Each structure stands twice: as C-alpha cells, then as structure tokens.
Amino acid sequence: MENVTEIDHPVVKRYLSILRNKKTETAPFRRAMSTIGTILAYQALTDLPMKTYDVETPIQTTTGYEPSSEVFVIPILRAGLSLVDGIISFMPDAKVGHIGVYRDEQTHEPVNYYHNFPGGLKGAYTLVVDPMLATGGSGSHAIKFLKENGADNIKFVSLISAPEGIERLQKDHPDVPIITASIDEKLNENAFIVPGLGDAGDRYFGTL
C-alpha cells in the first residue's frame, strides 16, 4: 500500500500478541502499549528534520543534532492516550494536544466534541495518534480539523489498521503517511477490526 509503513519486527509481533490475548490483564496491556508506542515513534520520526550545533566532548568538539521543527503529538481521545506515554518517552520534548472524536454507534461517523492543542501547528511535525484505525472516519475527521487549523506536516500513527480505514485515509488525505504496527484482515459487521484486540481504550483504562 502506498504511503503506508507496517512495522515488521519480532519485538512488535511479541507485544502485539500480548495485546491481542483476551486474557491479558490491564497492567501488562498498558506496558505493551507503551513499548509499541515507543517503537511506532521511532519509525514515525525517521525523517524528522534536524539542525546541527557544536558539542564539546571531554576530548574534542564534534557535531550535535537537534530537531529543527517542533514535534506535536495529537492523540484522538480517549484511546489515543494509550500510545502517548511510549511516544513521549522517545521524544520527551514533544508537545501534546488532544482532539476528542467519538464514533456514532448507529452511523459509524465521527462527531467532534473537544479539542485543545498548541499553537504553531503550521510547520510543526505533527503525529495524529489512534491505536485502532478501523473505518478511518475519526482519523480523517481529526486530520481535516488539524489542517483547517494550520497543520501542514502530518503523519497518522496507529497500532492496528484495517484495510478499509487505510483506504479511507488515503482517499481523503493522500498526503498523510500512515505508520502502523499491523494491517489486519478486515472490519466485521459492527465495524470492529478482525482479528484486532477488542476495544483498545476500554482494555487500557480498565473499563471493560
């Protein structure tokens, strides 16, 4: 799939298996989400623009590197919060905003109920985060909203993606790369990802 990166790594497969297992309890589920969040951040930031400066080591001067643009992490509430700890452990000076979108259970279409993100979206390196890319409606809605507020360099980061959701994002936002740990088989009749892992938010927050 064009503009989609599926991470093929044995450690990711291990932690995905923990997350998929319906017997996994809340604490190990959270640890696995954090670990994969860090790996997703590593992949998503491989082309982060950098600038150089001089660093004095105990031996001599050498070249140091730091980001030349700000990094914003925008989780889609509430499930998107499950990946934030892992991402900011890898990029601790990233700024974190929030956008609240829920899926109407009847229409499966997104409804925006909250947003709060830093100013200066234009030119920033923005990661939109949602663990489950299912229909793509919430993700597309969030990206559109961020673009309307100035964001012009966006990547979508998900744990598990359905082909239907990928197709929707590529149709609506062909300029937005997708980073995911797994592309699963399909959506079922209730718009849940198969095989998936159930409701990521409920499992992470212990609200099953």
Residues annotated as catalytic (active site), given as ranges:
103, 107, 199, 202
Q: Which residues pair with 72 in a beta bridge?
A: 95, 126
Quickly count: other Cβ atoms within 10 Å of residue 86's Cβ.
22
Strand, coil or helix: what is 207? coil
Question: Measuring CA to CA, which residue among 43, 68, 77, 9 is closest to residue 155?
Answer: 43
Cβ-proximal residues to 70 (8 Å cutoff; 6+ apart), any chain = 94, 95, 118, 120, 123, 124, 125
